[in-house]
Amino acid sequence: MTSKPKIIIIYESYHHHNTEKVAHILAQRLQADLYKPSKIKPAQLLNYDSIGIGTGIYFSKPHHKIHSFLDKLPLLSNKKSFLFTTSGNINTRYIQGVVQKIISKMGGKGLKVIDSFSIKGWDTFGPLRLVGGINRGHPDLKDLYNAELFANKLLNEL
């Protein structure tokens, strides 16, 4: 009998807490510890089998706290990982490009990214605020259900 992997999720969520909503769904289903990057030291990740990273996408980049956290990671060879993102921009090519950059950065730290998940989130940043934003109401129940399906898939791979 194999033991349950020890999983941690590091996330940063801003504005409407879109990423935080997804982080809580994933943490509950995966029975994972859940931290913001300011609350954990990168070296502590050595105590985990699998590492999840969650971030909103801001002007084609992860949240600056996630970006900085990834920069500070030690080499984490043989650690499985996953990525989840939320974004106001739902253009598939845009999201895939940003996700690939983050996955590449994670891989450079020795993490083996087994899967990623992206959904739209309510975005009222900058001039979007003047028109009430885009994707109001997201992530919605369907988005959160899809996050749970993603977690179920991860359970078989972590």
Domains defined for the chain, CATH in brackets: 7-155 (3.40.50.360)
pLDDT of residue 9: 97
pLDDT of residue 143: 86
How far is Cα 66 from Cα 122, in angstroms, rounded to an integer?
20
Q: Which residues, given as ranges, of the chain have pLDDT below 50?
A: 1
How many other CB atoms are found less than 10 A from the CB of residue 93? 7
Phi-psi region of 84 (alpha: psi -120 to 50; beta: other; left: phi over 0): beta
pLDDT of residue 138: 65
pLDDT of residue 141: 81
Nearest 5°: CA angle at 50, between 48 and 54?
110
Phi-psi region of 69 (alpha: psi -120 to 50; beta: other; left: phi over 0): alpha
pTM: 0.87
pLDDT of residue 126: 60
User: Measuring CA to CA, which residue among 36, 52, 38 is closest to residue 111?
Assistant: 52
User: Measuring CA to CA, which residue among 153, 148, 156, 143 is closest to residue 16?
Assistant: 143
